[in-house]
Structure 1
Amino acid sequence: MTGWMAWLGAALLVLILAVVNKRLKRSGPLGKAADGLRQLVLKQREGRSTPEDLPLWEACLDRLAAYPSEYNELNAELRFLDAFAQFLGTHYPSDERIPSLQTAGSYRKDTIWGVKIHREDRESRNDRS
């Protein structure tokens, strides 16, 4: 019976640590950067972006760059690289980052392995299925 209780205690400890980790990520710099990007992407897609949003974009992207797995996961969810390229194209058309952002936005990355999968390849495979 004590072995069973030990396993139950270990499982409960892992569950508690997972919940605490998720809450810390949401309330820390990663969570703030993700929330900021969500708002900026929404503003860009609704056509409410302004040139004054550029420092906010750069700050959120810089903070998120320290977390590559979450960066890839959030980019797959929001497609923020595409939105940032559109933002720059609208407000700063001569910015030299636009071509590299468009190229990076055309690739999707697996969030676990970081494998680049070209969007066109993926769409053509889905069409065959």
Structure 2
Amino acid sequence: MENQEFNSKKYLENEFERKTLEELTKNLIFLLEKKGKITFEEIQSELLTNEQRIYDLLSILLSLGIIQRNNKKFKGSYFWIGNGSIITQNNQESMCLILDKIWKEQNLIFQIFSYCEKIDLENGKNE
């Protein structure tokens, strides 16, 4: 498995995949901006994509500190994070600033997706 190399830039090279990731991200941000909080089930029904892709996207946004997961009051809901507090619909933080933060970290995003793909391939071989 060490000989197998994964190219994290393939998502940049593959326009369809890049647009898919960008559109999913924009749509998820729009939902969060509109609702303030959202559950996984709501995300899945709105984005109409496979479950694993949503988990991957949420993992990226969680790792970048853009959203947080609240398991207490709103069980399993996801929230915006801004300056240590939850960003609500009324907050002045705009979608453009959030997207800018995400795309500044796009190399990390592509590495995470490549890593997820690598794990999927390894799990497929191990079964």
| TM-score normalised to structure 1 length | 0.33
- More strand per residue: 1 or 2? 2
| TM-score normalised to structure 2 length | 0.34
Which structure has the larger Rg over C-alpha atoms?
Answer: 1
